A = this chain, B = another copy of it.
Amino acid sequence: MTTPAGQRILEQASALFYAHGITAVGVAGIAEAAGVTKKTLYDCFGSKSALITAYLQRRHNQWWAELQERLAERPGVDTVFDTYLAHSQFDTELGCGFQRAAAELPHDHPAFAVIRAHKQAVRDELERLTGDPERADFLFLLLEGAVARRAFEGTTEALEYARGVAADRPTSAPTAD
């Protein structure tokens, strides 16, 4: 799992799962991309299912680390939005990896718990930052809407708009232009 080969497998699996979808990507393709045989892949992860779980866990860990780093030097709600915005530079226009995975995986798949935990963590972080559960719920709603829209609009427009709304502007005030 911590071996160099295991690392390469996880990296390639992450890239491929995110880019093409979990179901659409085969273990043979992952192994080949990692310069590894299927045997090594199965020695390291045991099953495709476990590899999927590891992929989402890794994705959460990386994203969370970046969020905490940014929050450390500039605490506040809009740093959360900024992290999504910055992340979208290499997350491309495909949208949130967890939303994408949630759309493909059955709800009782072991990896689905990782998705739920990730989203819960984000919501809880918003509550920690605002000290207001109600407001956290609202901001979380904006966030999810914005990243969902990025998936089919292909731009960060909605995300930037949502950040503007979150920046304490009252519900109805315009922010555009």
Binding site for B on A (CB under 8 A): 20-21, 23-24, 93-95, 98-100, 102-104, 106-107, 112, 115-116, 119, 134-135, 137-138, 140-149, 151-154, 158, 161-162, 165, 169-172, 174-176
A to B CB contacts below 8 Å, 21 in the list: A20-B106, A23-B104, A95-B102, A98-B152, A99-B99, A99-B152, A115-B152, A116-B153, A134-B175, A134-B176, A135-B172, A138-B172, A140-B149, A141-B149, A141-B165, A143-B145, A144-B149, A145-B145, A145-B148, A165-B171, A170-B171
Copies, count: 2
- Residue of B102, B106, B138, B171 near A152 (CB, 8 A) is B102
CA distance A23 to B103 in the complex (A): 11
